[in-house]
Amino acid sequence: MISLPHTTANLPNRCLLHLTNRPYSTRRRRRFWTRSSSSQHDRGNEKTTLASASTTKRVVLVRHGQSTWNEEGRIQGSSDFSVLTKKGENQADISRQMLIDDSFDVCFASPLKRSKKTAEIIWGNRETEMIFDYDLREIDLYSFQGLLKKEGKAKFGEAFRQWQEDPANFNIDGHYPVRELWSRARSCWTGILAHESKSVLVVAHNAVNQALMATAIGLGAEYFRSLLQSNCGVSVLDFTTRADGGSPHVCLNRLNQTPKSPLAGGSSGGREASKQIILVCHGQGDYEASTNDQPMTMLGEIQSQKTAELLLDLRVTSIVCSSTTASIETAGVISRVQEAAGCLGVDPVPRYVNTKQMNELNVEDILRKSNKDEAVTASIQPGWLSQLDEETVSALWNRSGKAWESLVDKLSDEDKSNPGDAMVVVGHPMAHISLIAQCLNLDKEWLGLFHLDPGSISVIDFPDGPSGRGVIRCTNYTAHLGRWSAPITRPG
């Protein structure tokens, strides 16, 4: 988890620093409650800050299951005509099982049918309250709503092109829908963070969930479609109170944990990914070992094996790893399982994997110089970035920038005839956090925004090819680890 800097040059506005405070505690007597959208003037009359979140709060965001208009390829926006398909109901039930052990204090949900039904399936027999908040509705798309995508393109030409290519500046019927959505998402955080709860479930929609995540961590509307949300994908944000009483540390603990494997593919913002980078955090290392270059523990070996099994769903052509022992061991397990695909009955065509070590992925030596590596490496906790001195952070950032450029160049040079092949990158969680930040074109002050566990998988799509903007499909996916996985949420 992270420390969100109070002031940082050239960063998007810290949209959670000033929020409206609408107390919800007086409404807890009712199990179901619906809040209507209020005027901007009303919201401006009451100001508070994130410091009002008095305890550590975990917020779990879920997108609704597949709807009838999703299935038809129709533009939904904030219309309320589509309902969950049978597949969508099944997805919601899988999400219910993923979250069944969590003792949520409250559920906030969009009242639109597809989201409301998803929320009710996930919420199950819980007796605590559900709050249906109209501000959690999907993005308002005005004249686009109800059209098939091909109809939108034919009828609105240039506006549809802008919606696809430059959504932050997309204008229709005199409105800027994405900008409006970002403003509405900021207001939603007011009620969520003011509620006297430690564990919150929010069930809503694709675009509004993107806006909620982005505004929580301080990303502007230009990041629309950069953080993928699949049907019933689960994302987790942690808000941890600072000792000095300032704005809490905010951490995107995990992104888009889907009912199916994150490697199953699908579109990225409506476009197929031509290339992918799979970031694999090496298996758990022996942090108590006397050697600086730590081998994997038995737990790490299990994690690596399970990761290799999951990656059989992909045809991996190349593995790039750091030159540390744990990364080399993890890469070796993945390579051996890939090349045994024929013996395992997975793929009759022989698989050959090219494995290469990349020194730019090494971060352990940088951390050792800070004399803080033992605490930081073993477990990335809230405010971990502040434990490192400026020289260490700069060294980590500069090295990750070189690694990112090398990886993208390598991806571009790979055989164009195999666009579906994936590159696997194995390294330390902190190296991958840096790569994710590089992909999003952030800078070093943002390194604390993300959390990754040993053995986890994160996926970056390139729908416009390696030279285009990367889309983060998921981060910190651990469901494949089974009983060894980090729980999505805190058990009750």
The residue out of 203, 235, 260 marking a domain boundary is: 260
Q: What pairs with residue 202 in β-bridges?
A: 61, 108
Instruction: Look at residue 209 and tell me if it is in a domain.
Output: yes
306/425 same-domain check: yes
Please state, in angstroms and rounded to a whole number, the distance separating the CA atoms of residues 378 and 427.
14
User: Helix 86-98 and helix 113-123: axis angle, to 10°?
Assistant: 40
**Taking 90 as the threshold, does the pLDDT of residue 127 lie above it?**
no
158/244 same-domain check: yes
Pairing of strands 354-357, 422-427: unpaired
pLDDT band at 155 (very low <50, low <70, confident <90, very high): very high
Please state, in angstroms and rounded to a whole number, the distance separating the CA atoms of residues 144 and 121.
29
161/282 same-domain check: no
How buried is 282 (Cβ within 10 angstroms: 0-12 exposed, 13-18 middle, 19+ buried)? buried
Reference 388, options 457, 434, 421; nearest CA is 434
228/280 same-domain check: no
Tell me if 77 is assigned to a ligand binding site.
no
276/223 same-domain check: no
When mean pLDDT is compared across 21-30, 162-171, 374-383, 392-401, the lowest value belongs to 21-30
Residues forming the active site: 64, 138
Tell me if 47 is assigned to a ligand binding site.
no
Instruction: Look at residue 20 and tell me if it is in a domain.
Output: no
Say if CB 445 and CB 397 are below 8 A apart.
no
Tell me if 66 is assigned to a ligand binding site.
yes
Q: How many residues does the chain have?
A: 492
Say if CB 489 and CB 199 are below 8 A apart.
yes
319/455 same-domain check: yes
Q: Could you report the per-residue pLDDT of 199-242, keeping only the tens digit for each?
A: 999 999 999 999 999 999 999 999 999 999 999 999 999 998 88
CATH number for the domain that contains residue 454 = 3.40.50.1240
**Taking 50 as the threshold, does the pLDDT of residue 5 lie above it?**
no
pLDDT band at 288 (very low <50, low <70, confident <90, very high): low
Tell me if 63 is assigned to a ligand binding site.
yes
Instruction: Look at residue 167 and tell me if it is in a domain.
Output: yes
First to last CA, the chain: 21
User: Helix 429-439 and helix 390-413: axis angle, to 10°?
Assistant: 70
pLDDT band at 266 (very low <50, low <70, confident <90, very high): low
Instruction: Look at residue 143 and tell me if it is in a domain.
Output: yes
pLDDT at 464: 86
The residue out of 260, 276, 295 marking a domain boundary is: 260
Amino acid at 336: R
254/200 same-domain check: yes
Instruction: Look at residue 392 and tell me if it is in a domain.
Output: yes
Residue-averaged pLDDT of the chain: 84
169/307 same-domain check: no
365/455 same-domain check: yes
**Taking 60 as the threshold, does the pLDDT of residue 413 lie above it?**
yes
Tell me if 68 is assigned to a ligand binding site.
yes
**Taking 60 as the threshold, does the pLDDT of residue 2 lie above it?**
no
Average pLDDT for 403-408: 96
Tell me if 163 is assigned to a ligand binding site.
no
Reference 280, options 398, 165, 361; nearest CA is 361
Tell me if 285 is assigned to a ligand binding site.
no
Instruction: Look at residue 12 and tell me if it is in a domain.
Output: no
The residue out of 209, 237, 260 marking a domain boundary is: 260
**Taking 90 as the threshold, does the pLDDT of residue 265 lie above it?**
no
Tell me if 114 is assigned to a ligand binding site.
yes
pLDDT at 270: 62
Say if CB 234 and CB 102 are below 8 A apart.
no
Of 102 and 280, the one with more pLDDT: 280
Reference 454, options 386, 399, 380; nearest CA is 380
Instruction: Look at residue 6 and tell me if it is in a domain.
Output: no
When mean pLDDT is compared across 32-41, 158-167, 184-193, 397-406, the lowest value belongs to 32-41
Range of the domain at 206: 25-260
Instruction: Look at residue 13 and tell me if it is in a domain.
Output: no
**Taking 90 as the threshold, does the pLDDT of residue 344 lie above it?**
no
345/441 same-domain check: yes
When mean pLDDT is compared across 8-17, 208-217, 300-309, 421-430, the lowest value belongs to 8-17
Give per-residue burial for 130-150: e unless 16+ CB within 10 Å, then b: bbbbebbbbbbbeebbbbebe
pLDDT at 46: 31
Average pLDDT for 355-367: 92
- The H-or-E segment that residue 405 falls in is helix 390-413
Q: Could you report the per-residue pLDDT of 418-469, keeping only the tens digit for each?
A: 656 789 999 999 999 999 999 999 999 999 999 999 999 999 999 888 888 9
189/273 same-domain check: no
Q: How many domains does the chain have?
A: 2
242/268 same-domain check: no
- The H-or-E segment that residue 163 falls in is helix 149-165
- The percentage of the chain sitting over the pLDDT mark of 90, rounded to a whole number, equals 63
pLDDT at 182: 98
